[in-house]
Structure 1
Amino acid sequence: MPVPLQWLFKAFDVLVVIFMALMSLLVFANVVLRYGFSSGIAFSVEVSRLFFIWVIFLGSAVALAKGVHLSVDTLVSRLPRKARFACFLVAYGLMLWCCWLLAVGSWSLTLIEWGNRAALSGLPVGLNYAAALVAAITMAVCLLVGLWQALRGSLPATWSSTEAAEPPLTVIPVAPSEKMQ
């Protein structure tokens, strides 16, 4: 994770936890009220959906910064260093392009939908699209920091290995009664 941005990702972590808690509370309360008392919280579906969208996008930005997205390095780990670096540049270039597309699209939709209000909660519909904009900008900054570090000679762990790392072999002891005879 880029050191200058650690405070931002800690804030994102806190927001994700808060949004998840509020979303769970709203949905739980709505279900109990609906099935137990034939009532409900009118705005809970809209607000829960908004929280869910923000959790997804903030969580994806944090996952990129921490390097915990799924990666398959079977081929890359077997390449020579220069080929790995070329693959790194291509991959980061494509990811930056995707961030650009996401940012431009979400910015346009945020502007278009900001004046529209959700039917029950009254919140601007543009808030849904603003989550993608925040995530795109944050992910682009992380990618640029990673690119800068790589150009200075420090590739991320996935790209810097010289040989394929195999998981250690573990032996599970078998009880004497389970041994085959």
Structure 2
Amino acid sequence: MSWRVANACAERKFGSATRKQIIMFLADKASDDGSGIWCSKGTIQRHTELGETTVKRTIRDFLKEGILVETGARGCKNGFTVVYRIDLTRIEALELTAEPEIETGATVDPVQIGPGTGATVAGVPGPPRPPNHPKTIHKPSTRERVAAEDEEAEKILAAYPSDRLRGKAECLGRIREVLDAGTEVEDLLQAVNGRVAV
């Protein structure tokens, strides 16, 4: 096993995930000079979990491209296994996988010590502290008034017979329109109960 060969292969593009997986398996079996790889195509298939024809085709392609070189044969229980060598000069000629470094310019103070205070435009500083600072005073909520208005509409809606309701949100919206138009809550309640016609 050679870290040198494995790292060289890991840093290069081979055109597909299948090709990369096979070359990484072979690189794991190689010596530092890329030689001494003897493992059958069946072994490659079992360890990479790829199909038999895929492994055979990829090995053939590597041989045609010169990435792999046959250096001999080694006897085994099924006859012989071909011994391969990875040609490191061919590997180094392949495109790198790393993204090229792009110059983005230098920063004067790359690390901020405290929380930001906003940008200065025309010499006017930003807010003294960010809005999520614990000492920031937020405006009081205006939801109490809305809740009180909704209570009036809810009270009138509760007086409606249940078989007449067709969507609570729409009913509340229409009741709010009538109330905003100037109708008093008590008058509307009496109309709902059937005592006065509106």
Say whether the fold is shared (TM-score over 0.5). Answer: no
TM-score of the pair, normalised by structure 1: 0.24
Task: Give the TM-score taking structure 2 as reference length.
Answer: 0.22
Which structure shows the bigger proportion of residues in helix conformation?
1
Larger Rg: 2
Q: Which has the higher strand share?
A: 2
